Structure 1
């Protein structure tokens, strides 16, 4: 895979996404859940909330790069707060 610029942060990013997907698959098999209705008014499962979290985090990071201009690790803190909000109330 020499054609792709695999840096350490890129490899960590994809490894974390893969581990999240594996973890959530195992959780879904071992502990099935019924969908719940949150503040969005739609029924969501753990997987749905993970998808909403990842999508929102992508937009947070893009906005952070374009608007804030501070060090990117601070955006990670904002994303973690976003994840906590989504998993609690969505």
Structure 2
């Protein structure tokens, strides 16, 4: 794996994604839910909303890198607000 730059931020990123998947799997087993319809007018579950939040956050970070010169911490704040909105309204 010498071809990839494994830094602490990279390891933390993948660890957080793995932890989220484990938490959401446990929640799905322990507290099953019925899909709900939000502003997108499609049925979504917790896992669907997590996927939408992660995908949207990736695009937010790419846009932040491509369009702005501000520190990347700003994109993290925008992504957290976006994820909260996805879990609340979608």
In 2: Cα distance, 1:12 partner to 1:69 partner? 24
- Please give the secondary structure, in 2, of the residue aligned with 1:4: coil
What 5-or-longer segments of structure 2 have no aligned partner?
A: none
Q: Residue in 2 aligned with 1:48?
A: 48
Q: TM-score, normalised by structure 1?
A: 0.97
Q: Residue in 2 aligned with 1:5?
A: 5
Report Cα offsets for 1:26-73 as digits up to 9, x if no partner.
Answer: 000000000000000000000000000000000000000011220001
What 5-or-longer segments of structure 1 have no aligned partner?
A: none
Q: Residue in 2 aligned with 1:33?
A: 33
CA RMSD of aligned residues (A): 0.6
Q: Residue in 2 aligned with 1:19?
A: 19
Residue 2 of structure 1: how far off its partner (Å): 2.4
Q: TM-score, normalised by structure 2?
A: 0.97
Equivalent pairs, count: 90
